[in-house]
């Protein structure tokens, strides 16, 4: 921030897409944080992020749903 004058001109060009650059990138970050928070509940049982490698305490467990657990942990880890 601020982005280049080229980017700012592009973001306002009538040919579109007209976009608020900073706000849209912030929105992206918030969506990723919401994903992490949801996964924290599903895997760790809390909105507070604990261990990324082997979360426990949520409804989806390694023992009972191993394949689903591993897929979700793979996504959870990369969202950090």
| Site for another protein, rule CB under 8 A | 3-8, 10-11, 13, 16-17, 19, 21, 24-25, 27-28, 31-32, 34-35, 38-39, 41-42, 45-46, 53-54, 58-65, 67-68, 70-75, 77-78
Minimum CB–partner distance for residue 50 and another protein (Å) = 14
Closest approach, Cβ 61 to another protein, in A, equals 6
d(CA 24, CA 15): 18
Displacement of CA 1 from its chain's centroid (Å)? 21
CB of 43 to another protein, least distance (A): 11
Three-state secondary structure call for residue 19: coil
Q: What angle do CA 32, 38, 40 make, to 5 degrees?
A: 100
């Amino acid at each position: 921030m601020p982005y280049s004058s080229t980017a700012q001109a592009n973001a306002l060009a009538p040919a579109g897409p007209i976009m608020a650059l900073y706000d849209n990138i912030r929105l992206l970050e918030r969506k990723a944080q919401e994903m992490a928070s949801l996964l924290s509940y599903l895997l760790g049982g809390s909105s507070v992020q604990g261990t990324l490698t082997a979360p426990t305490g949520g409804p989806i467990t390694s023992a009972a749903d191993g394949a689903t657990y591993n897929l979700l942990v793979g996504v959870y880890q990369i969202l950090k």
